[in-house]
Amino acid sequence: MKTPLQQKYLRKLSDLNDHLCFYLFNKQELNDKLSNFTPEDNELFTPDLFPHNSYSKKINVTLKKLPSFQEQNQLINFGSYFSFSYEFFHAYMEDVMEIISYINTVSLTRSEKQNTPIEEQLQLLISKLGHGTPQQEVFDTIKYYRLRRNYITHLLEVLTSGFSDLINDEGENLNLFWKDAVTELDFTNYDIGVITENEIVDLLKIQRILLTIIDKFIAPLLQKEGIAKYICTKRYIQPARINKDIIIERKKTVSKLAIESFGVELTDTEMDHAVKTIGVKK
């Protein structure tokens, strides 16, 4: 089973990963070109080295300075890719909490939401479904992502106490939890301002795994009558008159959409109330 959000947000994260690969492709192409120059060319400027590139004049640095220029550019790019990936994941968490609340009619109180990080809100809401939650390491990892994203986007120079505590208390455990998924990412490392090439690949990979873990945990806990109601609300926006034949057609449509969007089969009984009451002209 799955939620209708899984494919949507995995595609966004995969597209972001493709853009990262394109950046790394261009980086390799540039490095190959630079390797063809000799030490005698070190003092030449980019307009001399790349006369057919209209942007060479805007950069206008010498060959020997291009590597450091490229390193700074990479730092900005990797930080952007990471921040974008977290924003996508944050949007997924908001959307999946809406689905849980709508389908299972559970919600957080105002006090439970107030000043509560989103990963803790998600964990609490899932717990209200009555079947536990994914492993604590999942939510600690999301917290790590949120705090590291904040460090980058807010241009912080020192770690917050909460981030330092997380690294100190949970870093080794997170390394153990993700040891088969990463190549370089180290959750015990306090020097998190610079994201390396292998690190950004690890970070984006884990983000996709996290989303899949959460989605697979939530989907089987969604009430089937609520799924039918959710589908009907999305499908039948304009009220219309219904009869026996229309009800039969609606059930065929809802049944098909339940399989496509949620990976679940609904019975006639589970669909009956929704197809007869939602989007129906009085």
- pLDDT tens, 60-83? 999 999 989 889 999 999 999 999
Is 157 within the bounds of a domain?
Answer: yes
**Is 53 part of any domain?**
yes
- Regarding pTM above 0.75, the answer is yes
Structural domain boundaries enclosing 148: 5-220
Residue 207 within a domain: yes
Same domain flag for 169 and 62: yes
Residues 127 and 243 in one domain: no
- Indicate whether 240 belongs to any domain: yes
Residues 185 and 46 occupy one common structural domain = yes
* In-domain check, residue 282: no
Q: Tell me whether residue 25 is in a domain.
A: yes
**Predicted confidence (pLDDT) per residue in 189-204, tens digit:** 999 988 999 999 999 9
- The residue behind tokens 């959307």 is 95
Examine the domain organization and report whether 262 and 138 are in the same domain: no
| Judgement on whether residues 199 and 269 belong to the same structural domain of the protein | no
Same domain, 22 and 92: yes
212 in the same domain as 81 = yes
> For residue 214, is pLDDT > 90?
yes
Nearest Cα residue to 217 out of 93, 132, 144: 132
Identify whether 190 is part of a domain.
yes
Total domain count, the chain: 2
**Domain match, 140 and 210 both:** yes
The share of the chain scoring above pLDDT 90, in percent, equals: 92
Residue 67 confidence (pLDDT): 87
Residue 155 binned pLDDT confidence (cut-offs 50, 70, 90): confident
Q: Return mean pLDDT, the chain.
A: 95
Model confidence band, residue 282 (pLDDT cutoffs 50, 70, 90): confident
**Spatial distance between the Cα atoms of 146 and 91, rounded to a whole number of angstroms:** 12
Do 204 and 148 lie in one domain? The reply is yes
Shared domain check, 194 and 229: no
Q: What does the pLDDT look like over 110-138, one tens digit per residue?
A: 999 999 999 999 999 999 999 999 999 99
Residues 31 and 125 in one domain: yes
Statement to judge: residues 67 and 174 lie in one domain? yes
Spatial distance between the Cα atoms of 66 and 174, rounded to a whole number of angstroms: 37
Residue 100 is assigned to a structural domain of this protein: yes
Per-residue model confidence as pLDDT tens digits over 261-270: 999 999 999 9
Among candidate residues 177, 199, 220, the one where a domain is terminated: 220
